[in-house]
Each structure stands twice: as C-alpha cells, then as structure tokens.
Structure 1
Amino acid sequence: MSTATVYIVTPFRPGARGSLAPGEPRRCSSEAEAMRAADAMMLRARGVIVLRQQEDPQVDFFGEPSVIARRGDVPEIALD
C-alpha cells in the first residue's frame, strides 16, 4: 500500500437564513499549498477549513480526515 497525504481546503459562504454553505473543495499536495489556498479563499468566503487525510485510491483506502486549520466562520459540524 502506497499512501499519500492530501490536503482538502473547503470554503464556506453565506447560505439560506444565515447558515453557512460549503463551496467547492480544493485538493492540495502540501500543507503550504493548502494554507495559501485557504488565505486566497478567505477573500471571498466567510470561513475556510483545511483537512489532512491519508489515502491510497489504488486499494480504496481513505483515512480519517483531521482538521489542521480553521479560518473565519466554520459550521460546528465541520469540526468533528
């Protein structure tokens, strides 16, 4: 098994009735790239969450994601 660490950056924008709605997630190959993407997304979003995950799609392995950064307003459910 050849696992790789990937980073997923998801912006949150205003949704219906004051809620937050997730935007299009972006996959990054390094933590530095993910942090730059999060900073850029904050220009148009109310919040951003950055996750780290181990994966090996060849054997259908996707590890449990962990939150490594939050910026701005992020729904509580996204923090679990």
Structure 2
Amino acid sequence: MAMKTFYVVQGFTAGPRGRLSPVPAIEVPSAEAALRRAEKIASINGGAIAFSRAGDPGTDDFDDPVVLARFGQVPEEVG
C-alpha cells in the first residue's frame, strides 16, 4: 500500500484536580479540517491538538507526527 497522510485531532479535558485527560481522537480529511475541528473541540473541552502523520498502514511504517496547531490546554508532553 502507498504512503498516506492522516489528519487527527486529539482533544483534552481537565478533571476535577486540573489533570488533563484525552478524549477520543478524531480522524479528519484534511489539515484545514483538523485546524477547524481542533479549535472547536478546544472551545468545548478546554484543549486540543491537530496533527498529521504520514505512513503506510499496510506495513505499519509511519513517520513521526507533525503538530499543526495547539489550542487551549494541552499536556506539555504532547506535541
């Protein structure tokens, strides 16, 4: 299978003690869609990151993720 770029949005929500927890990640069709969705999710949940990752799902060979944007509160170790 050929290389493909995946665009993903990962949201985060703050728990009662302020600890950030991930919400389910969402795959979107483009970088622009990832940016729009991440901004919206951050306005609802408190934080989100949009990133892309290129690779070959058939061989499970992927490049490192590329951060497109961070919105709101995102854990420091992410991106």
TM-score interval, normalised by the smaller of the two chains? 0.7 to 0.9
The alignment yields a C-alpha RMSD, in angstroms, of 1.4
Q: What are the superposed Cα offsets for residues 11-67 of structure 1, whole Å, 9 maximum, x if unpaired?
A: 110125211111110011210111121122123111110111102111221211121
Corresponding residue of 2:8: 8
Gaps of 5+ in 2: none
Native 8 Å contact 2:9 2:50 kept in 1: yes
Gaps of 5+ in 1: none
User: Could you tell me the TM-score, scaled by structure 1's length?
Assistant: 0.87
Corresponding residue of 2:61: 61
How many percent identity over aligned positions? 35
How many matched pairs?
79
Q: Which runs of 4+ in 1 moved over 2 A?
A: none
User: Could you tell me the TM-score, scaled by structure 2's length?
Assistant: 0.88
DSSP-derived class of the 2:77 partner: helix
